[in-house]
Structure 1
Amino acid sequence: MTTLYRCITEDDTGQFCHRVSEALSKGWSLHGSPSMAHDPAKGVMRMAQAVTKQVMAEYHPDMKLGQQ
């Protein structure tokens, strides 16, 4: 059993919520609280949420984590 980790980032829009919701629907679990920071170059707030998932596969750097 391997634990996978990803950090989902996006501008503070509904798209961020959809990406996190999609990950949860695919068996990923929230890992910690979301983070928010201002991006002065773009003039927007950015969101981040870490998620983890247990899989029956050996980790390899070429894994496409978003497809797991």
Structure 2
Amino acid sequence: MTSIPTLTCCHSDERVTDHSITLPLTVEADLFEIAARCAALVSVLIETDDSASRTALCEHLLRAAKAA
């Protein structure tokens, strides 16, 4: 029988959220970079239960969408 490896994250949820929020989106970012950033923010947003973190992630998602 084969085993399926599972992905584990060594960071806490707060550190992942903080990292997602603090990453700057440069003015020179193309649509692919903006789309990748939006996808990363949504991915973290789905897994976040804290309302303050969710609000911050939504604000950054809105800013990234406006940059497109």
TM-score (norm 1): 0.31
TM-score (norm 2): 0.31
Looking at secondary structure, tell me which structure has more strand per residue.
1
Query: Which structure would you say has the larger RCO, counting Cα contacts within 8 Å and 6 or more residues apart?
Result: 1
Looking at secondary structure, tell me which structure has more helix per residue.
2
Q: Which has the larger radius of gyration?
A: 2
